């Protein structure tokens, strides 16, 4: 399943990721989905892509731009 907009992402990603991270997730998911048609692989790749650009604060749980 592809996500046309960030508003179509699962709720858990909408409430936990900042908007730029949501966009990264959506784009990475859609690229992987087009290549593999595998939801698990696409989600894993999308989360990895978010982690390349953002860091989750262990105390607050908020995602911020990483170094």
pLDDT, the chain, mean: 94
Q: What is the fold, at CATH topology level, of the domain defined by 11-65? A: Rna Polymerase Sigma Factor; Chain: A (1.10.1740)
Q: What residue spans define the domains of the chain?
A: 11-65
Task: Annotate 33-64 with b (16+ C-beta within 10 A) or e (fewer).
Answer: beeeeeeeebbebbeebbeeebebeeeeeebe
Q: Where are the alpha helices (DSSP H) in 1-67?
A: 11-16, 19-36, 39-53
Residue 67 is predicted with a pLDDT of 57
Percent of the chain with pLDDT over 90: 93
Average pLDDT of span 18-31: 97
Q: How confident is the model at residue 55 (pLDDT cuts 50, 70, 90)?
A: very high
């Amino acid at each position: 399943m592809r996500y046309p907009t960030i508003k179509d992402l699962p709720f858990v990603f909408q409430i936990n990721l900042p908007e730029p991270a949501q966009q990264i997730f959506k784009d990475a998911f859609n690229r992987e989905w087009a290549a593999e048609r595998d939801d698990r692989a696409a989600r894993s790749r999308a989360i990895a892509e978010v982690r390349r650009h953002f860091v989750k604060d262990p105390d607050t749980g908020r995602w911020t731009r990483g170094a």
